[in-house]
Chains A and B, each alone.
Chain A
Amino acid sequence: MNITSSEEGECVADSQVTSKKKKRLSKDHWTAIAFLLPSFILILIFVYGFIGWTGYVSLSNYNTIVPDFSFAGLKNYIYLFNDFRFQADLRNTLFFTVLFIGLVIVFGMGFAILIDQKLKGESIFRNIFLFPMALSFIVTGVVWQWLLNPSTGFNQFLSIFGIKPKWYTDTNILAGFEWGSIEFGLPVAIIAVVIAAVWQMTGFSLAMYLAGLRGIPDELREAARIDGASEFQIYRKVILPMLMPITVSVVIIMAHISLKIFDLIYAMTGPGANFVTDVPGVYMFETTFRGNYYANGAAIAIIMLLLVAVFIVPYLWTNRRSDN
């Protein structure tokens, strides 16, 4: 620890004061570290230690009720990547993530720009788009399970126009081709889950973009207007580039939510017929806690962690460096 170095640089004439101050400051710094230490140790054990243990379980033969930690190598991982259900999970996660993030950004940014136009009742609109954020994914799942039920809900409206979507009960895969043991393409049933997730999370990106728009000084728009730019050009050339850091944050946060999503899908559809709405989070839960295949469950969990880490680690790393 290099705690005292900065204090030594301080120049105080009276040597007695210096030594006293030096002693006190360093004692304070040790107190600070003592303050932080319990939390840091808890995180080391509960996050890093437990991840390590999960990794160890994922390499074992612990696929029974009785613990069996004998080494199995990559057997569980190889099993998963050949598994029809897990292949379907990865496909579903990919399409869910892309649709979910894309729509949350489009709607969040769109609503934010509209609300930022100094309209009457802007706080009412903001509150309406934001309130689903206060709800649990379980509540959202239970409610949308009904709203998108093929025989009720929105379908009663849509059937007036002759459209009768099957929503999450649809087993079709759009634009599919054979890939591994699954059909690769957009599972129609995923759209229903995406609608519910977008309904819930749009408020988050709306709030982020609104804060970003409020942070852009009016002089900047004025200057562009004086230069003869149209409103559309101002947004395209001035405002949208300034919102880029917010978009990056929204993508990161939505990606980590989407890659580990469990409760919304568990409450709304479960794995679905032919696993059309299954995701790794649901598979991990069912295989571990309903089937007692702990090693397989641990392997799914480690793959989920790696997927999230690909997004998060570079993001945290660049944030950390910009702080220094």
Chain B
Amino acid sequence: MASFQWGKFIKYVILIFFAILFLAPVYVIIVTSLKPLDQVSLAEMWTLPSSIDFSSYAVAFSKLAPNLMNSFYLVIPATLISALLGAMNGYVLSKWKFKGSETIFTVILFGMFIPYQSILIPMIQFLREIGLYNSIAGLILVHVVYGLPITTLMFRNFYANIPDQMIEAAKIDGASFLGVFRHIIIPLSITGFVVVAIWQFTNIWNEFLFAVTVTTSDSQPVMVALQNLSGSQIVQWNVQMAGALIAAMPTLLVYIFLGKYFVRGLLAGSVKG
């Protein structure tokens, strides 16, 4: 039995070592963000602050606040609309298959993998044409459209777990396409909506390429503002770390409180589901 215990011990040592390594950045971010600038020196990088100082949070927050609001105005409607459309598509593609529906699904799914650089130039010209360039509404449109493949995939996989017999039974009882959707699918969709909404919320909140190319100055979401903060001339590491933490907080909170659904979203987004 002694060797067995040794095996367990070594496994713990390996996991604890890597866990500390994975958490080291968090430690440094928090410690640094709580120091006044004159304490953020090379020699003291890993030490605890001598006194806790929230001034870097005040500075970072005052700079990021408008962009944080932009991110919320963007992410909430974009998440809801793309989840709703995904639910409709997923319902059709799992429960009302028709000849060619698998091909249509594959055609939609490909949109999930394309590098967005390959649609960016026409996208921006199009937004200019319809007057939505440099607006949150334009970004919402972009995220809804390019969110369709993933939300469709996730709902399709989710609805595939609802037994077909339930749908058949309802049809025999006279329920129509919309009747089945309203009375059977929607009530069973709550978990699906939570998973998809968390996934979309996280992705749209964290997205950068669309945000930086579609918007300028006033309508920029928080990730662009954070990047600008770190790109400025005078490097105030404490303010940058506080800013990074503020910008990451909404998705971190989602992860901490809804981690189970977050992981389900990760797995559901991996095609096979």
**B-contacting residues of A (Cβ < 8 Å)?**
1-3, 24-25, 27-29, 31-33, 35-36, 38-40, 42-44, 46-51, 53-54, 57, 107, 111, 114-115, 117, 119, 124-125, 127-139, 142-147, 151-154, 156-157, 199, 203-204, 207-208, 211, 245, 249, 252-253, 256, 259-260, 262-263, 266-267, 280-281, 284-285, 288-289, 294, 297-298, 300-302, 304-305, 308, 312-313, 315-317, 319-320, 323-324
- Bound state CA distance, A44 and B149, in angstroms? 12
Which 3 residue pairs spanning A and B have beta carbons closest together?
Answer: A136-B206, A260-B115, A32-B96
Most buried by A among B15, B99, B105: B15
A to B CB contacts below 8 Å, 28 in the list: A35-B88, A43-B111, A50-B122, A51-B114, A53-B121, A107-B18, A117-B11, A119-B15, A129-B19, A132-B22, A134-B202, A136-B247, A136-B248, A137-B208, A138-B227, A142-B240, A143-B244, A154-B24, A211-B267, A245-B272, A249-B270, A256-B115, A285-B209, A289-B213, A301-B115, A301-B120, A312-B113, A316-B271
Find out whether the CB atom of A134 lies under 8 angstroms from the CB atom of B254.
Answer: yes
Residue of B nearest to A155 (CB): B42
Q: Is B54 an interface residue (CB 8 A)?
A: no
**A-contacting residues of B (Cβ < 8 Å)?**
8, 11-12, 14-15, 18-19, 22-25, 28-29, 32, 42-43, 45-46, 85, 88-89, 91-93, 96, 98-100, 102-111, 113-123, 126, 145-146, 148-149, 152, 171, 176-178, 202, 205-209, 212-213, 223, 226-227, 230, 237, 240-241, 243-244, 247-248, 251-252, 254-255, 259, 262-263, 266-267, 270-272
Find out whether the CB atom of B92 lies under 8 angstroms from the CB atom of A153.
Answer: no
Residues of A within 8 A of B122 (CB): 49-50, 53-54, 57
Report the minimum CB–CB distance from B218 to chain A (whole Å). 18
Residues of B within 8 A of A3 (CB): 98-99
Find out whether the CB atom of A28 lies under 8 angstroms from the CB atom of B115.
Answer: no
Residues of A within 8 A of B32 (CB): 146
Residues of A within 8 A of B241 (CB): 143, 146
Of the residues A54, A151, A298, A305, contact of B42 by C-beta under 8 Å: A151
Find out whether the CB atom of B28 lies under 8 angstroms from the CB atom of A301.
Answer: no
Residue of B nearest to A304 (CB): B115
Of the residues A50, A207, A305, contact of B263 by C-beta under 8 Å: A207
Residue of A nearest to B12 (CB): A119
Known contacts A40-B108, A50-B122, A294-B121; decide if A137 and B206 are in contact (CB<8 Å): yes
Residue of A nearest to B106 (CB): A320
- Bound state CA distance, A32 and B227, in angstroms? 44
- Bound state CA distance, A111 and B18, in angstroms? 9
Known contacts A32-B92, A40-B108, A42-B145; decide if A51 and B119 are in contact (CB<8 Å): yes
Most buried by B among A43, A44, A207, A288: A43
Find out whether the CB atom of A46 lies under 8 angstroms from the CB atom of B145.
Answer: yes
- Bound state CA distance, A131 and B209, in angstroms? 22
Of the residues A114, A289, A317, contact of B11 by C-beta under 8 Å: A114
Known contacts A50-B123, A136-B223, A253-B270; decide if A281 and B15 are in contact (CB<8 Å): no
Find out whether the CB atom of B152 lies under 8 angstroms from the CB atom of A39.
Answer: yes
Residues of B within 8 A of A263 (CB): 208-209, 223
- Bound state CA distance, A308 and B112, in angstroms? 11
